[in-house]
Amino acid sequence: MTTALRRLRNYIDGEFRDAADGRTTEVVNPATGEAYATAPLSAAADVDAAMAAAEAAFPAWRDLIPAERQKVLLKIADRFEERAEELIAAESENCGKPVALVRSEEIPPMVDQIRFFAGAARMLEGRASGEYMEGFTSIIRREPVGVCAQVAPWNYPMMMAVWKFAPALAAGNTVVIKPSDTTPASTVLIADIIGSVLDELGHSRGVFNVICGDRETGRLMVEHKIPAMASITGSVRAGMQVAESASKDLKRVHLELGGKAPVVVFEDTDIPKAVEDISVAGYFNAGQDCTAATRVLVHESIHDEFVAALAKAASETKTGAVDDEDVLYGPLNNANQLKQVKGFIERLPAHAKIEAGGEQVGDKGYFFAPTVVSGLKQDDEIVQQEVFGPVITVQSFSDEKQAVEWANGVEYALASSVWTKDHARAMRMSKSLDFGCVWINTHIPLVAEMPHGGFKKSGYGKDLSAYGFDDYTRIKHVMTSLDG
């Protein structure tokens, strides 16, 4: 006897719909390796319908005064709190994440971020009006860009959806968002929440649309003629493809891509405290975080002591079932990701040493042990490429110059951290590190008021903060003759 799979559907113009051609794909719970739902495999007809709905809803949404859009976002935030347990259950099943951690580490910041952008809706700032040519006054208008095609990733499907829709809606845009084909459940639930709020407050439900599908669905969204902007959080390869596709009609592009965060540990660091914080920042969410603390550079004078302490911390870190409150992280998201992480370990060079972990855990699901690898060189694959798993690598450096060179010596440039008690050194390092974020004596905290985004192959554009809000607006110059 087989259990019937739950049916997820697209949300287009206020209605839940199957794909026009009826195609579906199975959605697997990574904690069990078993399918629990089906989701639409959306094609051109579905993308057309969603884009048309967003385009039709745009004029009225754009023309609302900011205070009205703020009311909608504040109501959405309230509804997220009211329906938190539903969101937690959906995300846990989506990703295999521990329930307690979704409750404590994802729901509160998401609600806060929505409320932040609700406030940002009323802060459309521009330079002061003035006369820059005799007889004329110039003013600046800040306007929404239009329909936004947004593609969210599978590592934080619920939170990344918030990072995309909240600033877009606050600025007056309408949205078509696609979750990853492996994690659509929480985004479909978000559609139900937002749709009900829009309906209650008398706005078109076409303001927010969700279509499920695969890479081809995302390509169709980016290449569609209606969106004025394409936003993606994903791999470098996906970002390059989006940028290339969007260039054909000069769409705006917002890219948050991979990372390979250096964690530079100097000899004056409080080793027990650093190890505790770095291990959490490296293993949280199974290391499936573009900012994860997975590439440690430690001064040679404390290298052996640090590695031993980090290996001990790894051995004491627990992965397991979603209802176990003692686990730090759940499984990798999908079978392909498990294969990728295993591949990095299998291809380690002879000079590398596995200090802890290095193997799959359990006989079902996609769990992988907390891993520490030492003895690595700068040009090793595992140092240069994003693993996106619970694997921390360690290299030994001799001086500050070498630390900077190695820290910057990768193609990614999203986040980094420096661990030292020397204030002047911390300031020098924060200047020299070529990354969008530099943490000092901490790693991974984020706040709604501060920007998140990288350089180089980590993409461009900012999430969160007023800078993230600005990315969803355009600037118009209006000049008036004073001659009447």
pLDDT (tens digit per residue) in 439-481: 999 999 999 999 999 999 999 999 999 999 999 999 999 999 9
Question: Closest Cα partner for 348 from 314, 372, 324, 326?
Answer: 372
Q: What is the DSSP letter of 123?
A: -
Instruction: Write out pLDDT tens, residues 83-95.
Output: 999 999 999 999 9
DSSP string, 301-346: GGHHHHHHHHHHHHHH--B--TT-TT-SB---SSHHHHHHHHHHHH
**Delimiting residues of CATH 3.40.309.10 domain(s) in the chain:** 262-447
Q: Which CATH number fits domain 262-447: 3.40.50.2000, 3.40.309.10, 3.40.50.170, 3.40.50.300?
A: 3.40.309.10
Q: Given a cut of 90, is residue 126 above it in pLDDT?
A: no
Average confidence (pLDDT) over 171-180: 98
Mark whether 106 is an active-site residue.
no
Using CA atoms, how far apart are residues 363 and 210, in angstroms rounded to an integer?
Answer: 35
Angle at 57 between CA 54 and CA 63, to 5 degrees: 130
The Cα-based distances of 3 to 28, 34, 134, 157, 335 in angstroms read 13, 11, 76, 25, 22
Rg of the chain (C-alpha set)? 23
Number of CB atoms found within 10 A of residue 400's CB: 17
Using CA atoms, how far apart are residues 300 and 289, in angstroms rounded to an integer?
Answer: 27
Using CA atoms, how far apart are residues 474 and 481, in angstroms rounded to an integer?
Answer: 23
**Delimiting residues of CATH 3.40.605.10 domain(s) in the chain:** 6-257+458-477
Question: Closest Cα partner for 349 from 376, 312, 326?
Answer: 376
pLDDT mean across residues, the chain: 97
Q: Give the helix/strand (H/E) hosting 202.
A: none
Residue 355 is predicted with a pLDDT of 98
Question: Closest Cα partner for 280 from 294, 299, 268, 295?
Answer: 294
Q: Give the helix/strand (H/E) hosting 294.
A: none
Instruction: Write out pLDDT tens, residues 35-54.
Output: 999 999 999 999 999 999 99
Residue 436 is predicted with a pLDDT of 98
Instruction: Write out pLDDT tens, residues 345-370.
Output: 999 999 999 999 999 999 999 999 99
Phi-psi region of 287 (alpha: psi -120 to 50; beta: other; left: phi over 0): left
Residue 1 is predicted with a pLDDT of 44
Residue the block writes with tokens 């990072």: 163
Q: Given a cut of 60, is residue 2 above it in pLDDT?
A: no
Using CA atoms, how far apart are residues 105 and 43, in angstroms rounded to an integer?
Answer: 35
Residue 221 is predicted with a pLDDT of 97
CATH 3.40.605.10 fits 6-257+458-477, yes or no: yes
The residue among 128 and 430 whose pLDDT is bigger is 430
Question: Closest Cα partner for 425 from 393, 399, 405, 398?
Answer: 399
Q: Which of 91, 106, 256, 355 is catalytic?
A: 256
